[in-house]
């Protein structure tokens, strides 16, 4: 398990580097399509580095704001605070900031850039529907994400995916409505220019999809690892197993969830049950392994 945690940390920095390169690539594609020269390339890299730094320090705030989370009052939600405090003492972690999301669907997520700057958010539905040992299992799972350093790259992905989608959409629209480089510029560039223009357009179109696929790569293995380390923390597998079974039986959908934040939650928050176009599309981008697999893995421990 410790080897997996170390590998997670290495992969985290690799994936962040890929995100930076992807944003820079989009910037360079825009630069070529709009003929801005060397200055445009420099601006592209400055934007890529700047957005990455901003994401590092502010992505947790973005995730909490998108989910409409509010601070959990220690008196009103004393059970929540007490369970987290006990688990933090057992694991040696500092207590994260605790938040509440007013939503009847049971779910939770952890966010932040490191254990000292972490937060956990749970829905009111989770607090109402889980008994003490089940809630402890869910909170141990989320604390494991913090201890395993999953939260940094998972939270940054929220911001970076959004940035890539906005940049791509804006510049594709601008290019379509006449912002492209002039015909004389394209002729001077020759065949190589045409190839680069096609590549630039493809990158603008595919960048949001590539970012979404990176989200999938981030989440699936880390959920299984957090299940195992959460059980190791509580030393009581039936608690998390029972919680996952309740989540499996509950089909309510988080109202504030989006594709950008889907990978953060303990279970898939989007509607994948119905047969309408939206449900079928969401199934293509599942960020979590099936709950059946996770329950079987825990029962085998």
pLDDT tens for each residue of 86-142: 999 999 999 999 999 999 999 999 999 889 999 999 999 999 999 999 999 999 999
Averaged pLDDT for residues 33-55: 67
136 classed as catalytic: no
Look-up: residue for tokens 């560039």? 189
Asked whether the predicted pLDDT for residue 283 surpasses 50, the reply is no
Please enumerate in sequence order all residues whose Cβ is within 8 A of that of 192, keeping only pairs 6 or more positions apart, or say none: none
Report H helices in the chain. Answer: 2-33, 37-66, 78-91, 124-129, 132-147, 151-174, 183-234, 237-249, 277-284, 291-299
At residue 64 the predicted structure's pLDDT band, cuts being 50, 70 and 90, is very high
Task: Please give the pLDDT value at position 39.
Answer: 64
Please enumerate in sequence order all residues whose Cβ is within 8 A of that of 126, keeping only pairs 6 or more positions apart, or say none: 106, 107, 108, 135, 138
Averaged pLDDT for residues 281-289: 59
Task: Please give the pLDDT value at position 36.
Answer: 54
For the chain, the average pLDDT equals 78
Q: Of the given ranges (57-61, 179-183, 264-268), which has the lowest mean pLDDT?
A: 179-183
Averaged pLDDT for residues 165-188: 55
Task: Please give the pLDDT value at position 131.
Answer: 97
Task: Please give the pLDDT value at position 99.
Answer: 98
Task: Please give the pLDDT value at position 15.
Answer: 72
Averaged pLDDT for residues 58-67: 88
Distance from C-alpha of 125 to C-alpha of 272, rounded to nearest angstrom = 19
pTM for this predicted structure: 0.76
Q: Is the CB of residue 72 less than 8 Å from the CB of residue 80?
A: yes
Asked whether the predicted pLDDT for residue 271 surpasses 60, the reply is yes
- Tokens representing 155 are 């939270």
Distance from C-alpha of 137 to C-alpha of 141, rounded to nearest angstrom = 6
Give the model confidence (pLDDT) of 3-15 as tens digits: 666 766 677 677 7
More confident residue, 133 or 273: 133
Number of domains in the chain: 1
Asked whether the predicted pLDDT for residue 67 surpasses 80, the reply is yes
Q: What radius of gyration do the chain's Cα atoms show?
A: 21
Range of 121-130, 167-176, 208-217 with top mean pLDDT: 121-130
Task: Please give the pLDDT value at position 138.
Answer: 97
Look-up: residue for tokens 């096609």? 198
Structural domain of 234? 1-301
At residue 2 the predicted structure's pLDDT band, cuts being 50, 70 and 90, is low
At residue 218 the predicted structure's pLDDT band, cuts being 50, 70 and 90, is low
More confident residue, 262 or 64: 64
Which member of 134, 136, 142, 223 is catalytic? 142
Q: How far apart are the first and last CA of the chain?
A: 13
Distance from C-alpha of 294 to C-alpha of 169, rounded to nearest angstrom = 37
């Amino acid at each position: 398990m410790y080897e997996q945690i170390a590998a997670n940390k290495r992969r985290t920095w690799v994936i962040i580097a890929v995100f930076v390169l992807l944003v820079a690539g989009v910037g360079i594609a825009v630069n070529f399509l709009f003929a801005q020269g060397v200055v445009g390339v420099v601006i592209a890299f400055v934007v890529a580095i700047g957005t990455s730094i901003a994401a590092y320090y502010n992505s947790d705030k973005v995730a909490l704001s998108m989910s409409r989370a509010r601070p959990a009052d220690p008196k009103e939600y004393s059970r929540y605070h007490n369970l987290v405090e006990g688990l933090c003492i057992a694991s040696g972690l500092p207590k994260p900031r605790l938040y509440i999301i007013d939503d009847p669907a049971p779910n939770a997520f952890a966010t932040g850039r490191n254990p000292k700057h972490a937060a956990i958010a749970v829905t009111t539905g989770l607090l109402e529907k889980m008994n003490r040992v089940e809630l402890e299992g869910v909170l141990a799972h989320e604390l494991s994400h913090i201890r395993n350093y999953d939260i940094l790259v998972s939270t940054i992905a929220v911001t970076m995916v959004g940035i890539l989608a906005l940049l791509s959409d804006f510049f594709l629209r601008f290019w379509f409505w006449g912002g492209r480089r002039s015909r004389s510029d394209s002729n001077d560039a020759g065949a190589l220019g045409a190839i680069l223009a096609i590549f630039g357009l493809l990158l603008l179109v595919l960048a949001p999809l590539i970012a979404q696929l990176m989200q999938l790569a981030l989440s699936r293995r880390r959920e299984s690892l957090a299940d195992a380390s959460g059980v190791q923390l509580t030393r009581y597998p039936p608690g998390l197993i029972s919680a996952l079974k309740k989540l499996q039986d509950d089909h309510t959908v988080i109202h504030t969830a989006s594709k950008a934040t889907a990978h953060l939650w303990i279970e898939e928050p989007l509607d994948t049950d119905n047969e309408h176009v939206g449900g079928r599309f969401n199934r293509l981008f599942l960020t979590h392994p099936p709950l059946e697999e996770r329950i079987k893995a825990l029962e085998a421990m």
